[in-house]
Amino acid sequence: MKIKTTNKNIGQRLDKFLVNELPITRSQIKKLIKSGNILVNDKESSVHRFLRLGDIIKVAKTDINKITKIKKLEPNPKVKLKIVFENDDIFIIDKKAGLLVHPTDKMEPDTLANGLLAIYPKIKIVGDGDLRPGIVHRLDKTVSGLMIACKNQPAFDYYKSLFKTRKIKKIYTALVHGKMERKEDLIDRPIARSATSGKMAVRSKSQGGKRALTKYSVTKQFNNFALLQVEILTGRTHQIRAHLNSLNHPVVGDPLYKQKNVKQKLELDRTFLHSTVLGFKDQNGDQQEFTSKMPAKLNNIIKELK
């Protein structure tokens, strides 16, 4: 397969350009580029190459067919979603813990994305052209609470821009181990993915760390735990979990960011982190704010603490 660039493609990044040209995900495109299976002007290229007029991009149909036979998002009406608000542009979903937002390379068939596709088939063409139709941001599998999904491309582009420019209000409730040294604070520590563990960790800018801002306040201090209200001012992967862990106050129930030396353990099959408040100015200029109550399982744990 050959694709020739035109005037409207000048300056586009190779991987982003191909998302709209090929029926595969951006991550799959990146893998093909890095493995030398996508050529630009008969030469191997980088993912971040910026296109010029007349560039000829070659990709083998066999590579695409091999991927698409495996990587195809299917609607799944068995996935039940709690939709707390809906209009012509967006869904506000109260996600339950244990639900993946979109499939991984294992192509799980029962994710939030599969459920969305069953409810609203038109969402298939919305987004960045991958396996995350309409999904502007995500919550980790073991985290619950509010998130946005978009029903059309203009809405997707608008809300994506709000997230990028930090104009979305995102407040979480978290239970962490230990006694907090400060009742409130702003954590300003750059984070990046660790080369050894794969987890996100505090890293200097020279180590690839990107600025991350997390504001918290203590709602209630217990003997060995603290209930926090947490607002993220940036949107890095695992930001809350990595930041609080870096303070030696890991989130209770976190399967990834956990520490052995905690004074008291709680039996919990999920992360005690809940997206409680989501606020933004919609496309009509109206201020919107949604709140979600903590799940009963989390409330019951709070009632038992001293």
Could you tell me if 89 and 108 are in contact, meaning their C-beta atoms sit under 8 angstroms apart?
A: no
Alpha carbons 200 and 236: distance in angstroms, whole number: 9
Alpha carbons 150 and 14: distance in angstroms, whole number: 25
Alpha carbons 116 and 95: distance in angstroms, whole number: 12
Alpha carbons 235 and 256: distance in angstroms, whole number: 18
| Nearest CA among 60, 145, 76, 70 for reference residue 115 | 76
Tell me the catalytic residues: 140
CB burial string 70-85: b at 16+ within 10 A, e below: ebebebbeebebeeee
**Tokens at residue 139, please?**
């919550």
Q: Strands of 38-40's sheet, edge to edge?
A: 2-4, 56-59, 38-40, 43-44
